[in-house]
Amino acid sequence: MKVKVTENCMGDRRCNDLCPEVFEYNEDELKSRVKFEEIPGEYQAIVRQAAEECGAQAIIIEDD
């Protein structure tokens, strides 16, 4: 599973709060970024939840 955050991110950091192990805020780009190239299995469920809850629909999941 791969995940990316698009330019639609509005920077409310909700995903950071939900799963700080995977998402962090990039102060330079003013949007969140994903820490992993490949999402570890233990975080995949919470990442799916973050994608569903993202108000900007900015979290895009690419399943293998």
- What is the nearest approach in angstroms of ligand SF4 to the Cβ of residue 42? 20
Structure tokens of 40?
């570890």
**Rounded distance, CA 12 to CA 40, Å?**
24
Residue 39 interacts with ligand SF4 (CB under 6 A): yes or no:
no
Among 3, 19, 22, 32, binds ligand SF4 (CB under 6 A): 32
Q: How far is the CB of 17 from ligand SF4 (least distance, A)?
A: 9
| Residue 60 φ then ψ, to 5° | -110, 125
Handedness of CA 52, 38, 36, 42 (dihedral sign): positive
Candidates 2, 4, 12, 26: give the one binding ligand SF4 (CB under 6 A).
12
